[in-house]
Structure 1
Amino acid sequence: MRESTASPLRKRKSWARWTIHLFPIPALILYGMFVLYPILAALSYSFFEWKGMARGNFIGFKNFVTLFTTEPYGSLFWNAFKHNVLYFILQMIVMNGLAFFLAFIIYQKIKGAEFFKAAFFLPRLLSVIVVGFLWKLILNPNFGTLNVILEKLGLETLQKAWLGDPKTALIAIILVNCWFGLGFGVLIFLAGFQGIPSELVEAAKLDGAKGFTLLRTIYLPLMVPSIMIMGILTFIQSFEAFELVYAMQGSMGEPYYSTDTLAVFFYRLAFGSSTASGATAIGLGSALATVLFLFILICTTLFLRFANKKDVQM
């Protein structure tokens, strides 16, 4: 009787164990449809000639060669790549630096800390397109709020057509993006600060550490994981920058391609513009998407390996 009773119980446990493995299948199907398939499709499209929306003959790496060696594609690619690099550098310095500083202040349990956390994160709740159009109005050279404030302060010499000047347009967009993403960085860094054992901080204070010495010897080394996380996320976001640029300057990276990024350049190639012939637009766009994906993947992998080594050493 015991064996006959144990056998069905064992079968039910075995079936339950196998049933658990079925739950990820819907998520895997969706991931394959909306992530893996587009990546593989873009890779395959880059090896073919295209006549409008119709796929032509297999041409190997010709689209990649054209992208890097044929004008105006080559110069536009490196121009956009340079802008993405500047995007990343300024965001790391301005956005992440300011987020780290604000998170450290909030961590000190100042009055109104909860309000400041909500206030800093509030812009993140807005749509990127809404943010872009809002700041486009603020930076308008004729009636924009920024120039009006400068005029009221008697600083007319500082007034500019912020989005119309090639020297300031890209920097203005990057600073708007820093404003938009600041709250997320504050939360990440604040979580890192709150994860530091209070015993270590108290022990350091008893040893006489305070101010900058406390920050350099205790907080910064223990904040490396949070800094690495924000560095990786900022890198990926910087090289995928599209929505804000598109909302504020359109698909041509105006003025004179001074705000062009790789994602905006891809949009023009894939969906047509004056810089791409109809016969090769989809192939060139797919080649650019493949190059961008591989670049982000390789750099992110190397960054993660470096971060893991730092964790092991610590």
Structure 2
Amino acid sequence: MAREVTPTRSGSTTRSARSGKGWRQALVFLAPAFVLYSLFLMYPLVTAVSYSFFEWRGTVRGAFAGLDNYAALFGSSTFGGAFANAFWNNVLIFAGNLAVQLTVGLGCAVLLMHRTRFRRFFQTAITVPYLVNPLAIGFLFTLVFSPQLGPINNILRDVGLGDWAQPWLGQESTILPIVIAVGAWQWVGFPVLIFSAALASIPPEYEEAARLDGASPWRIFRSVTLPLLTPAIGSVTVLGFVSSFTTFALVIGLTDLRGGLSGAADTLMLIFYRTAFGPGVNAVGTSSAIAVLIFVVVFGVAVVFNRIMRRREEALT
């Protein structure tokens, strides 16, 4: 009788050992990133949330305050309508920047896509302002819009439009539009890079098939190219919203910590900075509440935008 050979478990045991070793190696490589993430992101976030529910006298924690610090942002005489005004300024900054990014940025990317000569030069020229510190950009444009020495007013005087010369950064009606325009000019290089990469990834066969069917260039762009750019549009929108609601250095460079005359260009980050480092008794508690609200708004809206764009991407497949 032939002897029955029973299968051994050495193969499965070896695979299990290798799998366990692989997980241990993965944890070793991920540990530094996890520690840094917890130390510089999660810990400050949890700390800010806990601080916002207490009263503070300097750096000494007082009694539990509940939601009083949040209520003070909207109803106290200290803030008045400053918080709501700053919020709507951030909304306007986002709307203006997004309008430029989705039109000028996309237009420049399309033009550069069909232009081979000097493409690198134009891409670099458009992208350089995006790489410069916003504070330096703000200081630079204070000279550009200077009432006496700035080139804007000097050009208006030279062409006979001296009545149009005005203190652009010193009046409520023009300071916020200037902040929006300068910010849009600086950040337009980012969507150009994103859209250029997205356009390069579109297979040329789609455009050729539409052209053979008799579609015009505008129809091809609207019905073929633009829908395929949905992921890029989503990325530009979400990242543009985050950067607009965390605008800080550019406004300081163009105005001051008060957001210009009567807070016409005030933003949420400026209010947070003034509250955190100002002379207020409960500065820690109130500034922590501001930080939490900024995080909730930015994170919540980013999640909503991301889901909307994902649904549109799924509808294309």
Contact 1:129–1:247, Cα closer than 8 Å, also in 2: yes
1:257 to 255, 263, 267: 263
> 1:30 and 2:36 equivalent?
yes
Question: Is the partner of 1:21 in helix, strand or coil?
Answer: helix
Which residue of structure 2 lines up, in the alignment, with residue 206 of structure 1?
212
Which residue of structure 2 lines up, in the alignment, with residue 62 of structure 1?
68
Which residue of structure 1 lines up, in the alignment, with residue 293 of structure 2?
291
Of structures 1 and 2, the larger Rg is shown by 2
Q: For residues 203-229 of structure 1, what are the alpha-carbon distances to aligned partners after superposition, in whole Å with 9 as ceiling and x for unaligned?
A: 111112123222211111111111111
> 1:167 and 2:173 equivalent?
yes
After superposition, the Cα gap between the structure-2 partners of 1:212 and 1:11, relative to the gap in structure 1 and judged at 3 Å, is closer
Q: How far, CA to CA, are the matches of 2:65 and 2:103 in structure 1?
A: 47
Question: Is the partner of 1:73 in helix, strand or coil?
Answer: coil
Contact 2:276–2:287, Cα closer than 8 Å, also in 1: yes
Where do 5+ consecutive residues of structure 1 fail to align? none
> 1:101 and 2:107 equivalent?
yes
- TM-aligned CA deviation for residue 151 of structure 1: 2.3
What is the correspondence of 1:168-187 to structure 2 with a 5 Å cutoff? 168-187=174-193
> 1:44 and 2:50 equivalent?
yes
Which residue of structure 2 lines up, in the alignment, with residue 147 of structure 1?
153
- TM-aligned CA deviation for residue 70 of structure 1: 1.6
Amino acid of the structure 2 residue aligned with 1:104: V
Q: How far, CA to CA, are the matches of 2:271 and 2:46 in structure 1?
A: 20
Deviates more, 1:65-74 or 1:260-269: 65-74
After superposition, the Cα gap between the structure-2 partners of 1:39 and 1:7, relative to the gap in structure 1 and judged at 3 Å, is closer
Contact 1:84–1:238, Cα closer than 8 Å, also in 2: yes
Which residue of structure 1 lines up, in the alignment, with residue 95 of structure 2?
89
After superposition, the Cα gap between the structure-2 partners of 1:206 and 1:245, relative to the gap in structure 1 and judged at 3 Å, is same
After superposition, the Cα gap between the structure-2 partners of 1:21 and 1:162, relative to the gap in structure 1 and judged at 3 Å, is same
Contact 2:126–2:189, Cα closer than 8 Å, also in 1: yes
Moved over 6 A (4+): 2-10
Q: How far, CA to CA, are the matches of 2:10 and 2:233 in structure 1?
A: 59
Q: How far, CA to CA, are the matches of 1:256 and 1:25 in structure 2?
A: 48
Amino acid of the structure 2 residue aligned with 1:288: I
Q: How far, CA to CA, are the matches of 1:221 and 1:227 in structure 2?
A: 10
Question: Is the partner of 2:63 in helix, strand or coil?
Answer: strand
Q: How far, CA to CA, are the matches of 2:164 and 2:201 in structure 1?
A: 44
Contact 1:49–1:279, Cα closer than 8 Å, also in 2: no
Q: For residues 294-314 of structure 1, what are the alpha-carbon distances to aligned partners after superposition, in whole Å with 9 as ceiling and x for unaligned?
A: 111111111111111111111
Q: How far, CA to CA, are the matches of 2:82 and 2:217 in structure 1?
A: 47
- TM-aligned CA deviation for residue 39 of structure 1: 0.9
- TM-aligned CA deviation for residue 153 of structure 1: 2.8
Which residue of structure 1 lines up, in the alignment, with residue 308 of structure 2?
306
Over the residues paired in the alignment, what is the CA RMSD in angstroms? Answer: 2.1
> 1:193 and 2:199 equivalent?
yes
- TM-aligned CA deviation for residue 94 of structure 1: 2.0
After superposition, the Cα gap between the structure-2 partners of 1:12 and 1:295, relative to the gap in structure 1 and judged at 3 Å, is closer
Q: How far, CA to CA, are the matches of 1:55 and 1:145 in structure 2?
A: 52
Given the two structures, how large is their TM-score scaled by the length of structure 2?
0.92
- TM-aligned CA deviation for residue 84 of structure 1: 0.6
Q: For residues 240-289 of structure 1, what are the alpha-carbon distances to aligned partners after superposition, in whole Å with 9 as ceiling and x for unaligned?
A: 1111011221111111100100111111111115xxxx222221111111
Q: For residues 163-191 of structure 1, what are the alpha-carbon distances to aligned partners after superposition, in whole Å with 9 as ceiling and x for unaligned?
A: 11111101101111111111111011111
Which residue of structure 1 lines up, in the alignment, with residue 5 of structure 2?
none
Q: How far, CA to CA, are the matches of 1:84 and 1:4 in structure 2?
A: 63
- TM-aligned CA deviation for residue 14 of structure 1: 4.1
Which residue of structure 2 lines up, in the alignment, with residue 234 of structure 1?
240
Aligned residues: 309
After superposition, the Cα gap between the structure-2 partners of 1:3 and 1:37, relative to the gap in structure 1 and judged at 3 Å, is closer
Contact 1:95–1:179, Cα closer than 8 Å, also in 2: no
- TM-aligned CA deviation for residue 44 of structure 1: 0.8
Which residue of structure 2 lines up, in the alignment, with residue 119 of structure 1?
125
Which residue of structure 2 lines up, in the alignment, with residue 76 of structure 1?
82
Contact 2:109–2:196, Cα closer than 8 Å, also in 1: yes
